[in-house]
């Protein structure tokens, strides 16, 4: 399958929950989609973070092509998560006040702000314009990992799933460290999938 077809199919699949979220919001208000949108954002970001380690392990180049659409989905649902939260509170002043009052919300908002330039530059035009600086900018995704972990673990009503997400994010970050990357490169010989001639 061509890479662009794979990416667009992933985006289409990733957008399928939107009608359900819209229906839920229409019935119960913006509050009803705050957590679901946040969960979808986290899942997409976990998927994005997992692409490189999986590629190193099984040597399938198509995995790397999934990073951009997953990153865009993570930002999109993260923005929806924040928008629903702001709409539920009602005013900009209340949103700012409530956010600053809770450390978890500060970290979550910071994660979304860092993801914004990553999402805006996730296209070939930006890659050509920024050249080497594009890869440097993408390294900000590591900061997003730390911010998301803090956001999840400091939530007022922490759930087991949030702890699991934080653990997976931490594992994804550790797998990107040079020693772990070398280990994955070595192990890839064992797990390498058969390829067509």
DSSP assignment of 47-109: HHHHHHHHHHHH--GGGGGGHHHHHHHHHHHHHHHHHHHHHHH-SHHHHHHHHHH-HHHHHHH
Task: Give the DSSP letter of residue 64.
Answer: G
Other beta carbons within 10 Å of 101: 9
**What pLDDT sits at residue 52?**
82
**What pLDDT sits at residue 78?**
97
Per-block average pLDDT, block size 10, for the chain (197 residues)? 74 93 94 95 91 81 87 96 96 94 95 94 86 86 91 83 85 78 66 52
Helix 34-58 to helix 67-89 angle (10° resolution) is 160
**What pLDDT sits at residue 114?**
95
**What pLDDT sits at residue 3?**
65
**What pLDDT sits at residue 187?**
63
**What pLDDT sits at residue 138?**
84
**What pLDDT sits at residue 170?**
86
CB 34 within 8 A of CB 151: no
CB 45 within 8 A of CB 70: yes
Predicted TM-score of the model (pTM):
0.86
Task: Please give the helix or strand (H or E) that residue 186 lies within, else none.
Answer: helix 178-191
**What pLDDT sits at residue 193?**
52
């Amino acid at each position: 399958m061509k890479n662009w077809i794979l990416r667009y199919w992933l985006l289409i699949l990733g957008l399928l929950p939107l009608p359900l979220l819209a229906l839920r919001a229409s019935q119960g208000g913006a509050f009803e989609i705050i957590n679901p949108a946040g969960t979808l954002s986290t899942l997409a970001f976990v998927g994005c973070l997992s692409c490189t380690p999986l590629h190193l392990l099984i040597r399938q180049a198509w995995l790397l092509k999934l990073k951009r659409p997953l990153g865009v989905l993570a930002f999109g649902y993260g923005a929806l998560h924040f928008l629903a939260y702001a709409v539920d509170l009602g005013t900009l002043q209340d949103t700012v006040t409530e956010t600053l009052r809770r450390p978890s919300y500060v970290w979550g908002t910071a994660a979304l702000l860092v993801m914004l330039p990553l999402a805006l530059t996730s296209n070939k035009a930006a890659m050509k314009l920024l050249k080497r600086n594009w890869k440097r900018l993408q390294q900000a995704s590591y900061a997003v990992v730390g911010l998301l972990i803090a956001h999840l673990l400091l939530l007022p009503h922490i759930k087991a799933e949030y702890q699991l997400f934080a653990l997976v994010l931490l594992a994804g970050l550790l797998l990107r460290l040079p020693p772990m990357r070398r280990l994955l490169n070595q192990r890839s010989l064992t797990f390498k999938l058969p390829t067509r001639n």
